[in-house]
Structure 1
Amino acid sequence: MGSHEEQCLPILDFSREKLVPGTTHWITIRDSVRRAMEEQGWFVAEFNGVSPDLREDLLSGMKDMYELPYEVKIKNENHKASHGYMSMVVDDYRIHESLGIDYATDPQACKDFSKLLWPQGNDPLSQTTHRYAAAVAELDQTGMRMLYESYGMDEKKHSASHSESTRYLLRMLSYRRQRNGEANTGFVSHTDKSFMSILHQNHVLGLQLKTMTDQWVGFNPSPTRFVVLSGMGLTAWSNDRIKPCYHRVVMSADEVRYSLGFFSFHKGTIRTPEELVDDQHPLRYYPFEHDGLLRFYESYVNSMKKSSEDLLQLYCGVKSTPLLGDHSLPP
């Protein structure tokens, strides 16, 4: 597999002032979102909801955070898979670190996070992370509204339900090239267990995305470009119309790459809407608890010592043996 040029990226204009429901621009972007998601599971949003100052303040705060001692950063604990502090060390050299704020759209969660790392708290960081999370949540909810409309569903009913049942995880990540000069390929090809994922970053290259023809596209970042990826939750919700997006990070630069991952999770049970089940699209997945999928993923990886491309099918696929203890079955 080679690497395509950036013109292969579907870049969609999500400028706030242009996205007026019912307008020609809205309908065009709405249909492009569905097409991109169904064809390859991702698109790039040109989004001006995060100001340059907010982005720079957050990146600056991340740099200060990563200068804290390791013993302080590991206080960021969370029992959910990939929600708390994580790191990767090669030859005694830390090439990847990440910390997470669960329920990041809640200002108190951001304050609690800062108090974990700084006994006196860190008001600038807590305010910046909350403002950032609130802005990117708007992008997530707009994308879902467009999918509801495009599938001919009751947008008002489903959008309200989605907003109420969604929690957001903000992960702040740093990547370094390996000490011996080799590329950092620690984040190999994988899909996310989220509902949707939104990625944003500084100027350093590294993110690659898989196309529908199994080729890799290198993402050229800019302050206003956000990569929107489908996760396993969206795959189950869409009844397999939308596949989870494969992506990876290949870090070859000598600079530190700072990245922001914004992940949506369902707080309760994910069910395929009845509007998306018909003779051509029979039900593919039983209803399941999203946090249950995370627990299953962690136990599967620990027991099998590997990840699985069929994780969702193994956990709740209609053709598999359902895991009765972790998710509810239809009557």
Structure 2
Amino acid sequence: MAIDAEIEFPTIELRSSDLKRGTEGWNRLCKRVREACETFGCFDVVYKKISTKIREDAFELQKELVEVPVERKQKNTSPLPCHGWVGPCEQVSMLYEGFGVADASNYDSVNNFAQLMWPNGQPRFTDTIHTLATQMEELNKLIWLMLTDSYGLQEDSLKMNYKTLVRMMKYLAPPPGEYERGFFAHTDKPISTLICEDKSGLEIEVNNDQWIKLTNLSPSSFVFIVGDPLKAWSNGRLKPVNHRVMMSGDKDRYSIAAFIIPNEGTIIKAPKELIDEKHPQLFKEFDFMDFFLYAISDPAKHIDSGELLHAYASLSPPVSN
């Protein structure tokens, strides 16, 4: 998918015929996934196993969700940051509104959220969001497996107990002729993220301060994003990408993101196979939740957030990508 005359953002289609481990097709895919995550920190993954209908249904239901009264939205709370409802505000963006469903591959969790928003129940919402979340979680697992295989590691090298946090986000169209921030630039603090969107708006930073908009994504596309902890796990090989949402035009934007949030007590550390004389250990072992709370709880830390991992866990001065 060509976005810029000089930059071609990687699009990788995961065809079922290439998904048998150990085959030539599988090995080629693994190499492409690793190279995309090392170079860009993200890629466009085309995955037709998740139907376009389930995505369209989810966006349709999301449009119903944003219409519920504010007093119900305010019931979407959590002791963990980024897990509840956030309305338009100066801190994030006056164009942004987001809802959080924790443990969204668990049917009861989605149903409990739906009953908060619709006291009389909304089984179609529960069924659709639970199905989409479960399928996105499986896609994330598949990409993780590709990364471990590409580095020649055992499957359990990137295996942990976690929950999938689904955030459903709406971005208002800006005033006519304006180009406005929908969400500030940041790197992700969960392990990894999958995003699907109904219109373009997501931008990534490349080549230091050059931003490109991800356009022409197919109806079967998801954007996989490397989070800060994957950089630590890979001993600096994988690149968390700085990304933002910028809005233009006269249409609102809807997106659904699945964030991988490890359970409390999960330790992030690089496998010994990724540490040697040429690749000395860059980061200390750390508790994921301690890092997550450190990075997310203080809004001021969103500035230059790509450096937070180094500030928290680096064993050496930060190295520019």
Whether these two folds match at TM > 0.5 is yes
Per the alignment, residue 252 of structure 1 pairs with 248
What is the correspondence of 1:62-81 to structure 2 with a 5 Å cutoff? 62-81=62-81
Q: Is the 8 A contact 1:50 1:135 kept in 2?
A: yes
| Counterpart Cα distance in 1 of 2:238 and 2:119 | 44
Paired letter, 1:255: K
Distance 2:70 2:242 in 1: 30
Contact 1:193 1:233 in 2 (8 A): yes
CA distance in 1, matches of 2:225, 2:297: 24
Q: CA separation in 2, counterparts of 1:212 and 1:165?
A: 35
Compared with structure 1, are the counterparts of its residues 308 and 213 closer, same or farther at alpha carbon in structure 2 (3 Å cutoff)? Answer: closer
Residues 89 and 301 of structure 1: CA distance in aligned 2, closer, same or farther (over 3 Å) = closer
- Counterpart of 2:133 in structure 1 is 133
Question: Percent identical across equivalent pairs?
Answer: 31
Q: What's 1:266 paired with?
A: 262
Aligned 8 A contact 2:187 2:305 in 1: no
**Match for residue 308 of structure 1?**
305
Query: d(CA) in 1 for partners of 2:4 and 2:236?
Result: 26
**Residue pair 2:186, 2:302 contacting (<8 A) in 1 also:** no
Q: Which residue of 2 aligns with 1:145?
A: 145
Pairing partner for 1:282 from 280, 284, 288: 280
Q: 1:28 corresponds to which residue? A: 28
Find the aligned partners of 1:138 and 1:305 in 2 and give their Cα distance.
29
Retained in 1: the 8 A contact 2:20–2:26? Answer: yes
Q: Is the 8 A contact 2:166 2:256 kept in 1?
A: yes
Conserved? CA contact 2:170–2:254, under 8 Å: yes
Query: Aligned pair 1:189/2:185, yes or no?
Result: yes
Distance 1:114 1:141, change over 3 A: same
Distance 1:252 1:305, change over 3 A: closer
**Residue 186 of structure 1, CA deviation:** 3.4
CA shift, 1:65, in A, is: 0.2
1:211 equivalent in alignment to 2:206: yes
Kindly state the Cα deviation for residue 98 of structure 1 after the two structures are TM-superposed.
Answer: 0.6
Deviation larger for 179-188 or 271-280? 179-188
- Say if 2:170 is the partner of 1:174: yes
After superposition, the Cα gap between the structure-2 partners of 1:65 and 1:57, relative to the gap in structure 1 and judged at 3 Å, is same
Alignment gaps of 5+ in structure 1: 321-331
Write the letter of the residue equivalent to 2:286: F
Q: Flag structure 2 segments of 5+ consecutive residues without an equivalent.
A: none
Q: Secondary structure at the match of 2:16?
A: coil
Change (3 A) 1:141 1:68: same
Matched, 1:57 2:53: no
In the alignment, is the contact (CA less than 8 A) between 2:157 and 2:271 conserved in 1? no
Contact 1:176 1:184 in 2 (8 A): no
User: Within 5 A, what are the aligned runs for 1:68-147?
Assistant: 68-89=68-89, 94-147=94-147
Q: 1:277 to 1:301 in 2, by over 3 A?
A: same
Specify whether residues 6 and 76 from structure 1 end up closer, same or farther in structure 2 by C-alpha distance, changes over 3 A only.
farther
Residue-by-residue CA offset, 1:153-185 (whole Å, 9 max, x unaligned): 112x336xx2x5122111100111234652231
SS at match of 1:49: coil
How has the CA–CA distance of structure 1 residues 7 and 225 changed in structure 2, closer, same or farther, with 3 Å as cutoff?
Answer: farther
Taking the aligned partners of 2:19 and 2:176, their CA distance within structure 1 comes to: 47
Distance 1:191 1:76 in 2: 24
TM-score (norm 1): 0.87
Alignment RMSD (CA, Å): 2.2
- Does the C-alpha gap of structure 1 residues 6 and 99 become closer, same or farther in structure 2, counting only changes over 3 Å? farther
What is the match of residue 291 of structure 1?
289
DSSP 3-state at the match of 2:95: strand
- Tell me whether 1:201 sits opposite 2:197 in the alignment: yes
The verdict on how the C-alpha distance between 1:279 and 1:7 changes in structure 2, with shifts beyond 3 A counting, is closer
Distance 1:94 1:210, change over 3 A: closer
Amino acid at match of 2:112: D
In structure 2, distance between residues paired with 1:193 and 1:89: 21
Letter in 1 for 2:114: S
Secondary structure of 1:193's partner? coil
Q: Flag the 1:213–1:316 CA change in 2: closer, same or farther, 3 A.
A: closer
8 Å contact kept, 2:107–2:126: yes
Separation in 2, partners of 1:212, 1:67: 40
From the superposition, tell whether residues 285 and 127 of structure 1 become closer, same or farther in structure 2 (CA, over 3 Å): same
Q: 1:50 to 1:143 in 2, by over 3 A?
A: same
Q: Secondary structure at the match of 1:186?
A: strand
In the TM superposition, what is the alpha-carbon distance from 1:214 to its structure 2 partner?
A: 4.8
Question: How far has the Cα of 1:17 moved from its partner?
Answer: 4.2
